Amino acid sequence: MAEHARSSTQSPIEAHGIIGDMRSAALVADTGAVDFFCWPDFDSPSIFTALLDTPEAGVFELAPVLPHARRQQIYLPDSNILQTRWIDTGSVVEVTDLMPIGESPDDMPRLVRRIRAVNGQAQVRMRCRVRHDYNRAATQPRLDGEQVCFDAQGQPSLRLASCHTLHIDEHGCAVADFTLAEGQCAEFILGAEDDPLVRAGQSQRCFEHTLKYWRDWLGQSHYQGRWREMVHRSALALKLLTSRKHGGIIAAPTFGLPEQAGGGRNWDYRYTWIRDASFTVYAFMRLGFSEEANAYVRWVRERVSDCCQERVDLRLMYALDGRQELPEEELSHLAGHGGATPVRVGNGAYTQNQLDIYGELLDAVYLANKYGEAISHEGWRNVQALVDKVCERWHHKDVGIWEMRGNEQHFLHSRLMCWVALDRALRLANKRSLPAPFARWDEVRQAIHDDIWTHFWDDEAGHFVQHLGSREVDGALLLMPLVRFVGASDPRWLATLAAIERDLVRDGMVYRYREADDGLDGEEGAFTACSFWYVECLARAGRVEEAHLEFEQLLRYANPLGLYAEEFDRQGCHLGNTPQALSHLALISAASFLDRKLSGQRTYWQP
Residue 59 sits at φ, ψ, to 5 deg, of -165, 155
CB 304 within 8 A of CB 274: no
The answer to whether the beta carbons of residues 509 and 557 sit under 8 Å apart is yes
pLDDT band, residue 424 (cuts 50/70/90): very high
* Single-letter amino acid, residue 415: R
CA pair distance 601, 579, nearest whole angstrom: 32
CB 115 within 8 Å of CB 124: yes
What average pLDDT does the segment 420-444 reach?
Answer: 97
Segment 298-319 mean pLDDT: 90
Pairing of strands 574-575, 567-568: antiparallel
Q: What is the pLDDT of residues 243-261, one digit of tens each?
A: 999 999 999 999 999 999 9
Distance CA 525, CA 571 (A): 10
Mean pLDDT, the chain, integer: 94
The pLDDT score that the predictor gives to residue 478 is 98
**pLDDT surpasses 60 at 6:** no
Give the closest residue to 407 by CA, choosing from 459, 359, 356, 470.
Answer: 470
b/e for 243-276, b at 16 or more Cβ within 10 A? bbebbbbbbbbbbbbbbbeebbbbbbbbbbbbbb
Query: What's the pTM?
Result: 0.95
Query: Whose CA is closest to 411, among 359, 469, 454?
Result: 469
Quick check: 98 and 110 in contact, CB under 8 A?
no
Mean pLDDT, rounded, for 265-275: 96
pLDDT digits (tens, 9 = 90+) for 66-96: 999 999 999 999 999 999 999 999 999 999 9
Q: What is the reported pLDDT for 346? A: 98
Residues 6+ positions from 308 with CB-CB distance below 8 Å: 381, 382, 385, 386
CA distance 592 to 601: 11
Read off the pLDDT of each residue in 382-399 and give the average, rounded to a whole number.
Answer: 96
Contact status, residue 411 vs residue 394, Cβ threshold 8 Å: no
- 18-29, pLDDT tens digit by residue? 999 999 999 999
More confident residue, 562 or 515: 562
The rounded distance, in Å, linking the Cα atoms of 46 and 49 is 6
What pLDDT was estimated at residue 8? 58
- pLDDT greater than 90 at residue 57: yes
In one letter, which amino acid is 307? Answer: C
- Beta-carbon contacts of 529 under 8 Å, excluding residues fewer than 6 positions away, are 580, 582, 583, 585, 586
DSSP per position, 453-492: HHHSEETTTTEE-SBTT-----GGGGHHHHTTSS-TT-HH
Q: Give pLDDT tens digits for 433-481.
A: 999 999 999 999 999 999 999 999 999 999 999 999 999 999 999 999 9
Residues 52 and 137: beta-carbon distance below 8 Å: no
CA dihedral 178, 184, 190, 195 (to 10 degrees): -120
* Cα torsion angle, 490, 492, 493, 498, sign: positive
CA-to-CA distance for 601 and 584, rounded, in angstroms?
A: 24
What interhelical angle do 228-240 and 203-218 show, nearest 10?
120
Domain boundaries, the chain: 2-198, 228-598
The Cα angle at residue 266 between residues 475 and 336, in degrees rounded to 5: 145
User: Comparing C-alpha atoms, which of 555, 509, 553, 541 is closest to residue 528?
Assistant: 509
CA angle (401 as vertex; 396, 404 as ends), nearest 5: 85
Question: What is the DSSP-derived secondary structure letter of residue 336?
Answer: -
**DSSP-based three-state secondary structure for 292:** helix
Per-residue b or e along 25-54, where b marks 16 or more CB atoms closer than 10 Å to that residue's CB: bbbbbbbbbbbbbbbbbbbbbbbbbbbbbb
Q: What angle do CA 444, 446, 585 make, to 5 degrees?
A: 90
According to the model, what pLDDT value does residue 404 have?
A: 81
pLDDT the model gives residue 149: 98
- Does pLDDT of 605 surpass 90? no
Write the class of the CATH domain 2-198. mainly beta
Q: Fold for domain 228-598?
A: Glycosyltransferase (1.50.10)
Does the pLDDT value for residue 3 go beyond 70? no
3-state helix, strand, coil in the chain (%, to 5): 35, 20, 45
Give which of 248, 298, 301, 254 is closest to 276, Cα–Cα: 248
* Residue-by-residue DSSP string for 390-444: HHHHTTS-B-TTTT-SS--B-BHHHHHHHHHHHHHHHHHHHHHT----HHHHHHH
What percentage of the chain reaches a pLDDT higher than 70?
Answer: 97
3-state secondary structure (DSSP) of residue 551: helix
Work out the angle at residue 88's Cα, subtended by the Cα atoms of residues 83 and 94, and round it to the nearest 5 degrees: 20
For residue range 503-537, list pLDDT tens digits in order.
Answer: 999 999 999 998 767 777 888 899 999 999 999 99
**Eight-class DSSP state of 326:** -
Three-state secondary structure string covering 46-100: EEECHHHCCHHHCEEEEEECCCCCEEEEEECCCCCCEEEEEECCCCEEEEEEECC
For the cut 60, the answer to whether the pLDDT of residue 17 exceeds it is: yes
pLDDT band at residue 601, thresholds of 50, 70 and 90? low
Tell me what the mean pLDDT of segment 362-369 comes to: 94
